[in-house]
Chain A
Amino acid sequence: MNYLVGAFKPPCNIFISFTDGRSRKQVPLKKENGKTVMVALFQSQENIVGEVVVIEPIHGKKVEHNGVKIELLGQIELYFDRGNFYDFTSLVRELDVPGELYERKTYPFEFSTVEMPYESYNGVNVRLRYILKVTISRNYVSNIVEYQDFVVRNYTPPPSINNSIKMEVGIEDCLHIEFEYSKSKYHLKDVIIGKIYFLLVRIKLKNMELEIRRRESTGSGPNTYVETETLAKFELMDGAPVRGESIPIRLFLSPYELTPTYRNINNKFSVKYYLNLVLVDEEDRRYFKQQEITMYRNLEAS
């Protein structure tokens, strides 16, 4: 019986751990099966140091192999192009020369100052992920492989230029408004402060809300897929304003799951954010104006 069971199990188990795993920040990561696990968080240029432990095979069997290696992979996976991964980063360290494994073995590894320009991202049509992959290659039988995900987030300093967004829009003789968002670039825990000033109101408005929309575009040329999600609907105003009224905006971004803006990541995808100001009149007609904002990750705020 034991033999039979053992046939479907890998002959040995591999564990990958980070040297500073205890102190390192863990962040949640959604896996393919929908479960969320906590994984280590890195940023670009960090040393990724740790060790791989291979537990000795069961029943004292020996495992012959053609070598043990560890790879650090940065992959972009496009869902519509299932099965195809684009590795934009691939680093390899040989851990062991070909031989036999018959006892527990520990292999330290280190990737120094790894260039990880892109952040981990889990979108609608695309996924960007970083993994450590340990492979025990074997002849004639399948390799023994183990993966360890980790997450990369890159922090950027506050932008030196951060103009406000200010615009006057309207429908002739019906509605003229002027809105202002204090900044055009926000960090992920930022607060959007602003004002909407009503210059002319001839339609009966019911309410006004501010939406945060994420636009993810994948592929290129004729094969571009665009997916837009509304991440936040935030009511700014209840009732009908009169001319001259000015309505404050204060929207805290922290409750929402936002990422920085990604522009043309490895020519595969982009993620952009927009503020959409929506005015709804009594007949439920919607008037809106969308403005792009740039999101960035700020170290202090996270």
Chain B
Amino acid sequence: MLLIGAEDEEKWLAEGIAGIQHNAFYLHRALDSNNLRDALKYSAQMLSELRTSKLSPQKYYELYMRAFDELRILEMFFKDESKHGVSVVDLYELVQHAGNILPRLYLLCTVGSVYIKSKEAPAKELLQDLVEMCHGVQHPIRGLFLRSYLAQISRDKLLDIGSDYEGDADTVMDAVEFILENFTEMNKLWVRMQLEGPGRVREKREKERSALQELVGKNLHVLSQIEGVDLEIYKETVLPRVLEQVVNCKDDLSQYYLMDCIIQVFPDEYHLQTLEMLLAACPQVQPTVDIKTVLSRLMDRLSKYAASSADVLTEFLQVEAFTKLSNAIEKVIEVQVDMPAVGAITLYVSLLTFTLRVHPDRLDYVDQVLGACVKKLSSIPKLEDSRATKQVVALLSAPLEKYNDTVTALKISNYPRVMDHLDNGTNKVMAMVIIESIMKNNTCISTADKVEVLFELIKGLIKDLDGATDELDEEDFKDEQNSVAKLIHMLYNNEPEEMLKIICIVWKHTMAGGPKRLPFTVPSLVFSALRLVRQLQGQEGDIVGEEVPATPKKIFQLLSQMIEALSAVPSPELALRLYLQCAENSKAQVTAIHLIIGALQRMNVFSVENRDTLTHKTTGYSARLLKKPDQCRAVYACSHLFWVDGQDGIRDGERVLLCLKRALRIANAAQQMASIARDSSGPVTLFVEILNKYLYYFEKGNKQITAAAIQHLIELINTEMQGDSATSDAFLASTLRYIQFQKQRGGVMGAKFESIKL
């Protein structure tokens, strides 16, 4: 067959139309003069135009419609026996005298419809005869249109018959049988179109076929409209027969279209009641059929149906819709080996959507779906297909959206296992979705277990996954990490103990995040921890004397760890700010300051200027602590900031001395306050402590710390001691003993200490 030009086709169509018009003119004349003979002759000639093989389905349809209109007029004429004087029975024979089959059958159908209406013969026999005789046209397009004509012209009669309950159910069955038979034959013809002609025009052919699908589907539509077709008939006759045809025709286009058609035209209630049968057909279709779309649509319809009323839901339970669907999907996936992963996952998404809509209370179902998905995913290599991953994201997002409560999702055991199968990028996307869901719904994650699960889920954001080498977009990364930070605020429990656990777990996870992530996550965690501290202090009175696992001390230790970790990375300014934040708390501040100092001392990444700012601030804070002894201790501790051991360490002896002197001043002030209040002997201890610092720097070789200064301090202590009890004797004594020891040791150190007189 040559590929024909559109121009030629137009010409042929025009010729055909002209032929029809020409004969229709004489036909009308014959009808006007009640001349049956001529009417038959010209109508047959007119219909002969439909014998053409030159037209594409669309053009043929145009031609067909012209003839169709004329046939309606002819039908009216046939109906009126007074005009032609021939009984319908004779007419039925008369039209069969035509030599050419196509005009003959068109005429036969036309008379047949009049015959049925007249009720002079059983409709069943007539219908059977018509549908049988149409076998004569085996040319796909011509056959399809002929049978479509038959369906069209008999439609109103069928609806009458089908709705006629007067007799028994047989009449309904007659109509049904007829339509099914016609449908089967039409489908066969339709499928056969595919086989016609050479393979190279296949695509064109498929397009042409799609243009004709309505003709085939029309039959199903009529079936659905017949009132008499109740569930019983549908279940026992209609569906099995239609499905048989669908399965047996082994044609992609047909199977897809018809399955979809079944789902669309028949009521949902029927689908629900015949679910098993319908689903059983799905694995039997050709492997290339896009059955997933069909199933998705089915589930979509069913879930909408379920939503329509509460009564319906019990039906769903009765027929075990979920189990059936789930089994069917499994089978389809099993059978369609070549189905890309995206297909399988799409199916699971649909099933999940269905489950969520129909059985929102059945978390186990959700879990089951995800489990099946995991199984599928583990059987294939890591997902490469972007559409597939998109579907997985959809799959995982669905429960989140549905439950408005991420905690529910956390209970689903297969959830993380599905996530494991995602590539890193998608994993992050998914993690983001989870976080967003939590944020959106303001969900509070309140137990350590849940937190553990949650962080397991979003680990893609928390740390570098294995083999993650992809270039990160800076913006995205920031967004992600900010989200994690926000998430940390959503973790909360009133019980300090549990809260501490939560914090520990979060820390455990975030710790692994590496230098790039910590600056984002640690602050949140720190604030969270601080909040806990405040809470503890608020209820301090109640918990005194008990074995409390969560004490501020512990928390601060943890905090210190955190911030230290942070300081190891290049964002110490942040670390400092955090320290300061920590330090704003009252009693705990001391500890904090010490920690800060400890950390700061070991940091060597700052520019000189920055460091100055930091140290200056730290010292300032130290001096502003609430209690004098605390101030004192903090300040002398600050001296370490200016004296760092090691090769490149800072050794600013002058400022060390300044710190120590300042500490002394504070100690003095404390001494005065103590003497006024006759309070404890603390201040003397302070002096001894300061002395120890002096000695330390002296040993380290700080030129600013002179033996004279030490000498002076010892004397000062001694003076103070006289007016006081011997509380700090031991400390002082051991200090003095140490000096003594150094003196006697000799060497460089001994020489240094020589000048100190005790």
Contacts and interface: CB of A to CB of B under 8 A. Distances in A.
Interface of A: 207, 232-242, 245-248, 250, 252, 254-255
A236 B101 CA distance: 6
Contact of A252 (B96, B101, B102): B96
Given A234-B99, A235-B101, A238-B101, A250 B138 contact: no
Nearest to B105: A238
B102 A245 contact: no
B658 interface: no
B133 A239 contact: no
Closest A-B pairs by Cβ, 3 of them: A239-B139, A239-B138, A235-B101
Given A248-B132, A252-B93, A238 B137 contact: yes
Interface in B274-293: none
Contacts of B743: none
B335 to A, nearest CB: 26
B142 interface: yes
B101 A250 contact: no
B682 interface: no
Chain B contact surface mostly: helix
B100 A235 contact: yes
Interface string B144-188: 000000000000000000000000000000000000000000001
A240 B189 CA distance: 10
A246 B101 contact: no
Contact of B101 (A237, A245, A255): A237
Contacts of A234: 99
A245 B135 contact: yes
Interface residues of B, number: 21
Contacts of A207: 101
B678 interface: no
A52 to B, nearest CB: 41
Interface of B: 51, 93, 96-97, 99-102, 104, 132-133, 135-140, 142-143, 188, 192
29 contacts: A232-B99, A233-B99, A234-B99, A235-B99, A235-B100, A235-B101, A235-B104, A236-B101, A236-B136, A237-B136, A238-B102, A238-B137, A238-B139, A239-B137, A239-B139, A239-B140, A239-B142, A240-B139, A241-B138, A242-B138, A242-B188, A245-B138, A248-B132, A248-B133, A248-B135, A248-B136, A250-B133, A252-B97, A255-B97
Contacts of B99: 232-235
Contacts of A237: 101, 136-138
B131 to A, nearest CB: 10
A110 B143 CA distance: 62
Contacts of B104: 235
A17 to B, nearest CB: 34
Interface centre among B99, B135, B136 (most CB of A within 10 A): B136
B136 to A, nearest CB: 5
Nearest to A205: B138
A33 B137 CA distance: 44
Nearest to B140: A239
Interface centre among B100, B104, B138, B188 (most CB of A within 10 A): B138
Contact of A238 (B51, B93, B188): B51
Contacts of B100: 235
A250 B92 CA distance: 12
Nearest to A233: B99
A154 B30 CA distance: 39
A193 B235 CA distance: 36
Contacts of B136: 235-238, 247-248
